[in-house]
Amino acid sequence: SKIDPLASFGNFQNTNLSRSISLSIIDQNGNEVSFQAHQNNLIQLIIPRDPNVLIPTMYLQNVTSINSTINNLLFNYHYINITSSLPISVHFEIHSLNRSLAYLFIYKFDQTPQLNSSINLIDGWTVFCPF
């Protein structure tokens, strides 16, 4: 195992930028050995998070009770405005409290998604199915 520190970006102390990794296995003669990873032969590469970056705490949002609110909302809407010169990644962690429900996740970059019009006005969607 080999650990190398990540380089900082410009004048910033943080190293919270996306990184790419390549893995080559070399035999004793310096020749690259081909290999395949599959379910029974896993390869894990772990990149620790930058300890200088403050990550906000996660919170639990029960989206299954939204349509029973006063306005009878059908969607749990979250807007994240990212105005930074650094590359940013957003991660959503979804845990189902009711395993018999499916969840629709719609996303749009650089604009608010228009949910009542063409599917071409969103960047993507995913259905998280039960089980």
Predicted confidence at residue 49, as pLDDT, reads 66
For the full predicted model, state whether its pTM sits above 0.85: no
The whole-angstrom separation of Cα 65 and Cα 86 is 36
Given a cut of 70, is residue 67 above it in pLDDT?
A: no
DSSP 56-99: PPP----GGGGGGSTT--S----------SS----------SST
Q: How confident is the model over 4-31, as pLDDT tens digits? A: 555 555 555 555 455 556 677 888 898 8
Are 23 and 47 in contact, with CB atoms under 8 Å apart?
Answer: no
